[in-house]
Amino acid sequence: MMNLETSIAGLRLRNPTMLASGILGQTGQSLLRVAESGGAGALVTKSIGLESRTGHGNPSVIEVDNGLLNAMGLPNPGIDNFEEEIRVVKEGGDGIPIFGSIFAKGPSEFSLLAGRMAGYGVDAIELNLSCPHASGYGIETGSDPEEVSKIVEGVVNTVDIPVFAKLSPMVPNIASIAEAVEKAGGHGIVAINTMKAMKIEPEIGKPVLSNKMGGLSGPAIKPVGVRAVYEIASEVKIPIIGVGGILTGQDAIEYFMAGASAVQIGSGVHYRGIDIFKKVCAEIEEFMKANGYTQISEMRGIVHPPKPGV
């Protein structure tokens, strides 16, 4: 009998699909819709900061070849206004794990936000160290192993729930950043975030996005995400959540075989609807049945060469 349940840093997920941060994650009701109608195994909130932000002006999201390009600018209500949204999910979500995503400037601010999120009742913290379109946040922080280590260590010492770091592929060696997370006591890695990109409208000779540059997501970045997960899994032992361009069960399976324990789906909601999580799980089950797998862990990391002596 096939079993889609998976465990990540002690958290039990009914299936290995998760809502990625930034998609339907700003209100408790929208998060509940993903859990109930969509069938996701876990939820990740919108990235929340210390203060409310309106983000960048429109156009902030456009469709490009094989993907989406967005420059939202981390709009959010601020941590003071987010407690009620978590309460709604905790009361109506039937125990579904909730990852509270946060962004900040510096270790002390990350620790403060993480403590507030933990106090609201989330089951894990996701550190957004990789946003490509908000100046002063994200990539600037997440590309420095020493700074990443300080942030992770500070948060781990502040909360008593699992701490995951979401990393950018736009660094020389993503595995070295993941190693810094592991050495600092982080419980897991999320890879990858969107990639910095740009579209120009030739007829008017100007960038299409109001922010000029944004983050590319969707099928175009899946090979990059799979590569990143493979490289990270070669160097760390903590669990990895794969994200980037997942539209089908086959896409998810690529991430599992590269070393991921679960996957997050974001732009896939745009392409296949809110019930994409159910669709992907059904396709995973079909593949497992056809290929003799009974649980997700049997596929995890199988493309890696055997360790010496094994």
Q: Which residues are catalytic?
A: 131
Q: Are strands 188-191 and 195-198 parallel, antiparallel or unpaired?
A: unpaired
- The answer to whether 234 and 211 are in contact (CB under 8 A) is no
The answer, yes or no, to whether the previous bond of 239 is cis (omega within 30 of 0) is no
Q: Phi and psi (nearest 5°) for 285?
A: -60, -40
- The answer to whether 193 and 168 are in contact (CB under 8 A) is yes
Q: At 127, is the secondary structure helix, strand, or coil? A: strand
User: Phi/psi zone of residue 121: left (φ > 0), alpha (ψ -120 to 50 degrees), beta?
Assistant: left
CB atoms within 10 A of CB 105: 13
